[in-house]
Amino acid sequence: MRDDSEDTQPLPIPRFGGCQIAPAPGFPAPANAGSARRRRARQIARSARRWITAAVYFAFAGIFLLSVSLIAAIYWQARTDETRSVEAIVVLGAAQFNGRPSPVLRARLDRALEVYNDGYAPLIVVSGGRVSGDQFTEAEAGRDYLVERGVPEEAILLEDAGSDSWESMRGVAALVEPRNVDRVLLVSNGFHLLRVEIMARDLGLTAFSTASTSGPIRPWSAPEFSYVIREAAGIAAYLAGYR
């Protein structure tokens, strides 16, 4: 008996000059066409994974390098004394206790007093508002501390509304503008100086800085490093537009 299955076998695809002719529509494709497509898809997927992995790697490497550079810049600024003749000394605020400066604020005020007594500026601006429940602002505590040590009260200006560095620097800029003060010397802990100097310059001031080093946060200490990390995050946020 004749086997009808022989009639179902695919016809051989003709070749001309070594080239295989694609089957016309309605005819079965070569058996290896699907395998070729799958191999091509796998190759594309592998290539895409390699590119994605490389992009992620370079992104993390870039973030790491930028972070290290920013931390190095903070340390560099903290160790760079830019004391020079200016029109006003600006003391960044810190905690006060019932009118008495905290050790951190006292160290900043002592550094400002040194610079003032050395004749680098005729004016001191003390900054910082009050937190809920306080009777005194940080600026008031700073003013009283300086007056007790011989600074004339008329040589002291108060920025007593700021609740953070940006608000304080904006208040300082507004306070000194009518007095035609342009050149200022910022006094704070070293880790804080880069951020407030950037802010001051963004507000149109010609800013320099000097660090207080006699307080409880000692240079190269573990507490200072933790503040440096926080400042790096703060600078990144500030540069990104978050105030």
Whole-number pLDDT of residue 26: 54
- Rounded average pLDDT over 158-179: 96
The answer, yes or no, to whether residue 196 has pLDDT greater than 50, is yes
pLDDT class for 1, splitting at 50, 70, 90?
Answer: very low
What 141-148 contacts at long range (C-beta under 8 Å, 24+ apart), as own/partner pairs, is 141/96, 141/99, 141/100, 141/101, 141/105, 142/91, 142/93, 142/96, 142/101, 142/105, 142/109, 144/99, 145/101, 145/106, 145/109, 146/109, 146/112, 146/113
Q: Which fold has domain 77-239?
A: Rossmann fold (3.40.50)
Higher local confidence (pLDDT), 138 or 3: 138
pLDDT tens digits along 30-52: 556 678 888 888 888 888 888 88
Instruction: Return the ∠ at Cα 228 (arms to 91 and 73), rounded to 5°.
Output: 90
Strand 206-212, strand 15-16: pairing: unpaired
pLDDT class for 95, splitting at 50, 70, 90?
Answer: very high
Higher local confidence (pLDDT), 116 or 54: 116
The answer, yes or no, to whether residue 15 has pLDDT greater than 60, is no
- Rounded average pLDDT over 21-34: 57
pTM passes above 0.85: no
- Rounded average pLDDT over 19-36: 59
pLDDT tens digits along 210-240: 999 888 999 899 999 999 999 999 999 999 9
Whole-number pLDDT of residue 242: 84
